[in-house]
A and B are shown apart, each in its own frame.
Chain A
Amino acid sequence: KAGVTQTPRYLIKTRGQQVTLSCSPISGHRSVSWYQQTPGQGLQFLFEYFSETQRNKGNFPGRFSGRQFSNSRSEMNVSTLELGDSALYLCASSLVGLSGYTFGSGTRLTVV
């Protein structure tokens, strides 16, 4: 079966712009989580969605937001981009009630 699909793979944006990243979970998975990975901070949890509702949120500013659609696909949005937002953004999906997540290959965002 298809894995977790993230688009685009690479993105270059200018400071002050906004960006939207997309994640399609494994078919049947209703939970989608987002993580930010940087060399300095490592992997940090952004938020988790289940059935179109945000259930859990990490310690990120309000510029970071997300949503989930009825087909479980998810998007995350970052507004007013800063240089420090440059990172690999990973999406992961999971079946409810099962432990562990399946990750996508990520979107590499570079802010210049």
Chain B
Amino acid sequence: AQTVTQSQPEMSVQEAETVTLSCTYDTSESNYYLFWYKQPPSRQMILVIRQEAYKQQNATENRFSVNFQKAAKSFSLKISDSQLGDTAMYFCAFMPLLTGANSKLTFGKGITLSVRP
């Protein structure tokens, strides 16, 4: 079974600054995906960024980037130039890669990020 740990329940950052959200996971799988999802007050889970475990290069999406350390089983999210709209709950999630099929997501407990004006 997989576990995903987000040890920081809350973080706060000043607008325009950079913040890093931490995530660690545990698995015996060798092929998997890692995700960061954002859940604003509207409740909809929005995919922020995705990392394939077989890729050594860290994924980036505009102001969002990850630091993926496979050996350490660490997957942190860096948000640059923080904006007020980044205020939300952020979830780290793990999904094993199964040939020809999707699989279930295992989520961490989430972290509440507040961006201060």
Question: Whole-angstrom distance from the CB of A21 to the nearest CB of chain B?
Answer: 14
Stretch at the interface among A12-20, A68-76, A77-85, A103-111: A103-111
Question: Whole-angstrom distance from the CB of B105 to the nearest CB of chain A?
Answer: 7
Question: Whole-angstrom distance from the CB of B111 to the nearest CB of chain A?
Answer: 12
Q: Give Cα A43–Cα B107 distance, bound, in whole angstroms.
A: 6
| Nearest chain A residue, comparing its CB with the CB of B51 | A99
Which of chain A's residues have a CB closer than 8 A to the CB of B108? Answer: 42
Stretch at the interface among B10-18, B37-45, B73-81: B37-45
Task: Choose among B100, B102, B106, B110 the residue that contacts A94 (Cβ–Cβ < 8 A).
Answer: B102
Task: Choose among A55, A100, A102, A104 the residue that contacts B101 (Cβ–Cβ < 8 A).
Answer: A55
Q: Give Cα A92–Cα B35 distance, bound, in whole angstroms.
A: 14
User: A42 near B43 (CB under 8 angstroms)?
Assistant: no
**Chain B 94-117 interface mask (CB, 8 Å, partner A; 1/0):** 010100111111111110000000
Residues of A within 8 Å of B, CB-based: how many? 27
Most chain-B Cβ atoms within 10 A of its Cβ — which of A88, A94, A101?
A101
Which of chain A's residues have a CB closer than 8 A to the CB of B103? Answer: 48, 56
- Does B91 interact with chain A (Cβ within 8 Å)? yes
User: A99 near B52 (CB under 8 angstroms)?
Assistant: yes
Question: Whole-angstrom distance from the CB of B79 to the nearest CB of chain A?
Answer: 19
Q: Give Cα A50–Cα B103 distance, bound, in whole angstroms.
A: 11
User: B95 near A99 (CB under 8 angstroms)?
Assistant: yes
User: A48 near B106 (CB under 8 angstroms)?
Assistant: no
**Chain B 31-64 interface mask (CB, 8 Å, partner A; 1/0):** 0010101000011111100101000000000000
User: A100 near B44 (CB under 8 angstroms)?
Assistant: no
Closest CB pairs A-B (n = 3): A103-B45, A43-B107, A45-B104
The 22 listed contacts between A and B (C-beta, < 8 Å) are A33-B104, A42-B110, A43-B105, A45-B106, A56-B103, A88-B43, A92-B105, A96-B102, A97-B102, A98-B102, A99-B50, A99-B52, A100-B33, A100-B50, A101-B47, A103-B37, A103-B45, A103-B46, A104-B44, A105-B44, A106-B44, A108-B43
